[in-house]
Structure formats: C-alpha cells, structure tokens
Chain A
Amino acid sequence: MVQLGTDLVKRGMAQMQKGGVIMDVINAEQAKIAEAAGAVAVMALEMVPSDIRKAGGVARMADPRIVEEVMNAVSIPVMAKGRIGHIVEARILESMGVDYIDESEVLTPADEEYHLLKNEFKVPFVCGCRDLGEAARRIGEGASMLRTKGEPGTGNIVEAVRHMRKVNAQVKQIIHMERDELMTAAKELGAPYEVLLEIQRLKRLPVVNFAAGGIATPADAALMMELGADGVFVGSGIFKSECPEKFANAIVQATTHYQDYELIAKVSKEIGTPMKGIEISTLAPESRMQNRGW
C-alpha cells in the first residue's frame, strides 16, 4: 500500500538535509544565490529576523506571492514559516506545496497556549527548542525536525550554544537512565513519556536537530556542528553580511568541514564583514523571541 505523510517520509526528508545549510531568503534572486552557494534548502520569508526586530509590529506568514516566487526559482526544497498555533497559515502553506513548515517563534505567536497538532498534516514541520522537554513536546505533537531556538536576528551565537548543549546533555542523561527513572524524568522535563522511551531505544533524538538563532560566521556554523548539530539554519547572517555570495559559500564549506580549521581560515578570508551583532543582555525580556512558545 502506498503511504504518504508518514513519520518515515517526513523525518526522512530532514535526514537528507543533514550536514547542510538552510538559508533565509526574501525573494527569487536571494534564493538563487543560496542555491548556487550550495544551500540544501531555503526558508522563504518576508523579512529576515533582524529586520523583523527592527520593524516591530506583528510578524506573520510571508505573502504567498513571495513563497511562490521562491518555489519557482529553485529546485532545492523550500521551507516557509507560519505563526505558532496558526492552523490556517500552516494549511495555506501546505496547500501551496512547500516542502517543510517552520512553526516559528520568529513570527508573532497566534496562540500562546497551544502549538499546532503537526501529526495531522501531510507536510513535515520543524520547530524550535531550548531544552529536551520542549524538544520532546514538539516531537509529541508531530514535529519531524528540530532546531535550537537560539536568539534569532542577533548574530550572537551564545543562545544557540546554550540550547544545543542543554538538549544534548539531557539526551545523554536519558540514554543512561534506568527504565524505572524515566517516568519521573518525563514529569520533571514536561516531556511525553513515549518520546523519552524512543530516545532511550534509539540512543539519540528520533528526529534531526539543526542549530539556529544567531549564526553569523563560518566559525559559528562549524562551532554548532562541533557541538553536535545535524546542520545549520542561517537567517540574517547571510543576506545581512557585506557580501552574501561569499558568506553563503564560506558557511557551506565550514559546515561540511567543521573540523578542518585551516580550511575554515581559508574560506573566512576576504569575505567581508559579518552582520552587526546584538549583545543579548541589552535585549528586553519581552523582545527575546526564544521565550515565545513553551
């Protein structure tokens, strides 16, 4: 029997993206630059996160015209962001045939209590996480891929590092726990018990986990791979840099060869200035995107 939209094909799609770089783009021209630089997918948006910060107001799903323009421009997969809990934005993106939906804290949440029940969709979802509890809740709802939340649009890697280390440390703890300790861990983490059982059986997360939220340089991308990320999302880091083509190319190389330091030094030369960063402590708690969702 033919089966569509199963965990196998939804999670499998993310597995094919491993070791790669997914880049935020706002039009066809940027999408083509990303594809030519070796991006494994593009994320179609109306504004990159650093511009969303500046613009203020309510950030929504991109205009379907932009999503369509990007889908027509490239042959690599196209992802798009919908607001947390916005069932209809997600259904619109699904109906357009986007390859992956990011239920994203970068946009203004539509629902402060409930995330989408992603199991009910045929299209796969990626969701942000700061710790294993959050990761496991999203998997429980049907997310087929995870990414650290980091702090989007800041060009500051510190939050992505914090979240990646936290998730991976907690996964290790779960793997080494006795079976009779798991229910208590589920209670303490706020994680579905079944997801923790699956982690223990597989000895890893059941879905791919990328790094996102603050990657601004080739070295940042390599650092996240070193810390155990399966790949990286780069939002503002590419098209807010001085020379996006060179930056995109250098970040792709650094992600694949993250332990080849001579190579990273080589590709990091003469690529111009990275995006200007923001020190996290200068951000008011209410403007921290990572606190959106639960």
Chain B
Amino acid sequence: MKIGVLALQGAVEEHLDAIRKIGAEGIQIKSKEQLEEIDGLILPGGESTAMRKLIDFHEMMPALQAFDKPILGTCAGVILLADHVESNETHIGGLKVWVRRNSFGRQIDSFSAPLEIVGFTSSYEAVFIRAPQMDEVGEDVEILASYNGRIVLVRQGNKIGCAFHPELTEDLRIMQMLKEMILQSKLAHPSNVL
C-alpha cells in the first residue's frame, strides 16, 4: 500500500514515520504526476496559505481536485479540503464543511486534550496547534469528534477531515482509519489496485 504525503511544506516526515508504522509505504508528493502512483493521500499540517501558493505555482490543483482515492487532511490539510473557508477562497474542496482558521486562538492557546472519538474504545490524546474548527457540515458528513462543542474530526465517504495532529503522537488509530479506508476502496475498485 502506497500512501502519499503532499510534501510542499509542513509536517511531512512525521506523517511518513506514521505511515511506516502502520506497515505502508510513504511517498513524498511534490508533483501532480506522482498522484497516479498512490492509493491514498495525506494533506499534512503546515501553513495553508503557503501550501496553496505552491500548489498553484506547480499547477497541481486540477489533479488534486480529481483525486478520488482516500484522503486524510490534518489541520492545514482540512482547510485545503473544505468546501467553504471563512474569509478566504476555497482551495481543493470536496469535503462539505465550513472551516474557520485559527479558531482556537494563537499559538499561546495551542493545547492537547483527551478526545472521545466515535468508534474508539478509549479516549485519544489530540494535539491542537493554531487549529481550525469545522462549523457546519453537509448531510453525508459524519461527525466523529467534537471538542467543547466545536467539530474537530469528520468523515465523508473516503475523506477524513481532522483539525488536530495525529502525526505528533504515538497513537496510530487515525492512521489505521485511513488504512482501513484504503483497503475498502481497493476492494470496491479492484482496478485501482497497484
């Protein structure tokens, strides 16, 4: 199983480490052609404005929008994936959520806290860094976790939107969720098997 990490800027190596730990092969994605080689994609944490700039410069946007295999967007990644971004334009889109950048405040308000996640049997220590939140979600979007009433983890079809940073802790359950999604998608579309 090959999982790509959009490697324009941000916590790329951390995700590649996590991918290795779930027994998959991680690939740094720096060009649109590479998207054809992978079974799933992670949009990592970083600065969404910087990533957007780099996506445009290399004309990667149409290929990212056409990518129909499983995607996990974390922090800046969920901003890139959201259909609506508060006081900003839509980037890749496809995830039917409204997203507010830096909604928990500046760095000084960054925190970690235990989170109850739908389907997990024990709580999950989530790290929020200048994190966004999701405000309203479309009908087929399943809310998997909220923190103090703010939506922070959702799933819609083969997309996961995550406001916190699974790559900064040893807990691999969010990564396992992505892996499971990729396995399901391969079963449903055998032609996608690489």
Contacts and interface: CB of A to CB of B under 8 A. Distances in A.
A35 B51 CA distance: 11
Interface string B45-82: 11101100110010000000000000000011000000
B114 interface: yes
A241 interface: no
B108 interface: yes
Nearest to B109: A4
Interface string A198-238: 00000000000000000000000000000000000000000
Contact of B12 (A2, A5, A12, A19): A19
A4 B110 contact: yes
Contacts of B109: 4
How many chain B residues sit at the interface, stated as a range, is: 35 or more
Interface stretch (A38-46, A47-55, A108-116): A38-46
B107 A77 contact: yes
A105 interface: no
A16 interface: yes
Nearest to B52: A38
A94 B105 CA distance: 14
Interface residues of A, number: 39
A40 B50 contact: yes
Interface string B11-36: 11110000000000000001000000
B168 interface: yes
A18 interface: yes
B176 interface: no
A88 interface: no
A124 interface: yes
Interface in B105-134: 105-114, 127-130
Nearest to B101: A75
Interface stretch (A189-197, A252-260, A271-279, A285-293): A252-260
Nearest to A123: B108
Contact of A12 (B106, B110, B114): B110
Contacts of B53: 36-38, 252
A211 to B, nearest CB: 15
B59 to A, nearest CB: 13
A16 B110 contact: no
Nearest to B102: A75
A77 B129 CA distance: 11
A16 B57 contact: no
A179 B109 CA distance: 38
Interface string B92-104: 0000000001100
B113 to A, nearest CB: 5
B111 A2 contact: yes
A43 to B, nearest CB: 14
Interface stretch (B2-10, B151-159, B183-191): B2-10
A256 B107 contact: no
Contact of A9 (B30, B75, B129): B129
A122 interface: yes
Nearest to B111: A4
B11 A18 contact: yes
A144 to B, nearest CB: 10
Given A38-B53, A38-B54, A99-B130, A19 B111 contact: no
Contact of A256 (B8, B13, B129): B8
Contacts of B91: none
Contacts of B111: 2-4, 9
B165 interface: yes
A40 B129 contact: no
Interface in B132-149: none
B8 A19 contact: yes
Interface of A: 1-6, 8-10, 12-13, 15-20, 35-41, 75-77, 94, 97-100, 122-124, 252-253, 256-257
Those 3 A-B pairs whose CB atoms lie nearest each other, nearest first: A38-B53, A99-B107, A9-B110
Given A37-B53, A124-B107, A256-B54, 10 more contacts: A4-B109, A5-B108, A6-B112, A8-B112, A9-B112, A9-B128, A16-B46, A16-B47, A36-B53, A40-B46
